[in-house]
Structure 1
């Protein structure tokens, strides 16, 4: 998150059009990388039972690579289509021209990320959450440092180089860390079709869930980009702040997956879920209070354009509401993943975000980005109800869930 904040800050101070172009590209990068990450997070409930015997999870790790590389290839191809997609959706020509070679560098990054085979998810599922720090630290420091160094001379191309190089370094660190945690080489055996299908039944719906979410948020960004260049830049800053706020809730939600997955009864599963929800909301509130208190001073770091800063500051409370509701539903969704019921979460997202994607363009034309953020708050509130109800229903059959194959 710090690396992403540095990128947004450097681009915002470099040029408003450059920041707008970056927002357009990340509207595709976010759903693409989230889909790969979602597929990899589906590993959690399969790896968690091997906490006391990590080496026994190696065959599962090998199976997961086949899924992740397939998802990464599709995402990389989507990134290469960004300039064409931007032109077709009415993004201003100056913004489209500014994109340059950035999609190619990010496509390389995504393929490298997919090749890690879900290292961070596996480490969390095995109770080695502390080890997750090292690959993410390598990526964040590399991304932030190289962006600050390269953007002044290379513009948005510098961001692409920084992203690709940092991704490669992070992948190497992740591979080394995972090898040590498992205690044996991973290698790559022949695909085990039956086992891969079992993983896919949980991973693919989960990937579909995050793809729907970030795909729709990408549509929202494209809708925002049809209003004005300054509003597009403001939307980019608000989206960056949202990622910062969601950091606490997503971290807690992911860490709760093995706890819910190892629960032996309904009470245990619900207790782990309640604890995660409480921690996630508390962390989100802390970050929200800090943003409200220091928002005006923080905005100076992200844009030299007074109009952009004024727009962001006015929309900050609405963005915080949308993020709070998003944090609450995220914990319930990860709880469903732990129960191997990610297909239910997929249905809920199709309902909540399906309504949002239908409303995005008409809302942007009528009420601008203010209406878009209000629409996102409503969609997230609906998901809180749907995901929470779904977890309560499926956790009532937790012992049956443990005995059945993934569904």
Structure 2
């Protein structure tokens, strides 16, 4: 448990510092120009799932690198393969980001908002390519037991993005955010590359792509990225369904969704920290013990956040909205949101545990089942039972995923060590 905590805390802090930059951007734009803030919101609607999918694909590299913790230099060929795969996924994400103005026009976004985008799509596309060029450095560092090194690129990114946004937005508007994002991304990528070079103990260099090995990586990474896209897509539909229930309920749903994201940071950091431990396990008992410990820590972290919200709910909600009616509605739904978050925390650990076993395809299938039902039910439930019904549906979907992912991990972990025993 101590080992997991030592690895998870830097990851948690890295996630928090990464969010700070985005919060500063939103705050500065909100005080600068309403249209610019609306344009950034449109941009974020595509950037967030695109970057999350790229990050998801890169997290699939962990189980391939973890066996080399005692001899990091031997992992260099795998790191080279990872770089090729990350560039492919990054390019796909960049293309999606560049197409935002076209998608916005087709979706009926007001012309003044689309016109405000300016250079931002191109800048954020460049950022995704820069991020992808690191070849999943953060995931590789975690797999090699160098979790503390992950904090510094994220901290640098948050600080540079925040400082440049404050300086560049007044004269350049939304284009200033784009420039700030690219500069912050390049700086963070440089720090990540230096940290990775030190961890490996030798230069990475260049090599021709090893197509069969890249395909092996993709079989784990691509389903993980698809899982992330499914989750973002279905939650987007849920948000749309919530928007049909009235302005007050829509605002309450937005606040609760934001709080859910904050609560998930603890479970995601623990889940990522558990990947090397599960991947390096030599027997069934070791893999299941590492996964069980991670699940307990993830749920405990989520419960700690839940306790804060239950005790200080009114004050915390006041940070997100000044509307007393919205606060009251959100406060009434808080227990349901916390139940959904606890189940989500538990299923996330099981799902990433399957990735550590190189069975992310199974996790994707479970997600299709769990969130497929939520997708089909969202709009009818919202029309019949409103936002309360939506949060019940999300809680049920996440509980179902706990069962499916947990059973899946139990089944697939039964083969840990089988090949070695046969040899």
Q: TM-score range by the shorter chain?
A: 0.7 to 0.9
Question: Who is 1:124 aligned against?
Answer: 142
Post-superposition offset of 1:121: 0.6
Q: Which residue pairs with 1:110 in the alignment?
A: 128
CA distance in 1, matches of 2:125, 2:365: 29
Shift in Å, 1:302 = 4.2
Say whether residues 1:246 and 2:260 are aligned partners: no
Which residue number corresponds to residue 274 of structure 1?
292
1:28 to 41, 46, 60: 46
Q: Is 1:377 aligned to residue 366 of structure 2?
A: no
CA deviation map 1:191-240 (0-9, x unaligned): 01121111112111122222222232234345556667776665554433
Segments of structure 1 that go 5 or more residues without pairing to the other structure are: none
**Residue 181 of structure 1 aligns with which residue?**
199
Deviates more, 1:285-294 or 1:262-271: 285-294
Number of aligned residue pairs: give it. 404
Aligned to 1:205: 223
Shift of 1:306: 6.0
SS in 2 for 1:189: coil
Distance 1:306 1:86, change over 3 A: farther
Q: Is the 8 A contact 1:13 1:302 kept in 2?
A: no
Under a length normalisation based on structure 1, what TM-score does the superposition of the two structures give? 0.87
Q: How does 1:8-407 map to 2 (within 5 A)?
A: 8-10=26-28, 21-86=39-104, 88-89=106-107, 101-151=119-169, 156-224=174-242, 235-303=253-321, 312-364=330-382, 369-400=387-418
In 2, are the aligned partners of 1:9 and 1:301 still within 8 Å (CA)? Answer: no
- Larger RCO, structures 1/2 (Cα 8 Å, 6+ apart): 1
How big is each residue's C-alpha offset from its partner over 1:107-145, in whole Å with a ceiling of 9 and x where there is no partner? 222221111111011101001111111011111222334
Equivalent residues of 1:242, 1:319 under 8 A apart = yes
TM-score between both structures, scaled by the size of structure 2? 0.84
Distance 1:154 1:225 in 2: 33
Asked if the contact 1:325–1:380 (Cα under 8 Å) also holds between the matched residues in 2, the reply is yes
Q: Which moved more, 1:216-225 or 1:9-18?
A: 9-18
Gaps of 5+ in 2: 1-18
Bigger drift between 95-104 and 78-87 goes to 95-104
Cα RMSD for the two superposed structures: 3.1
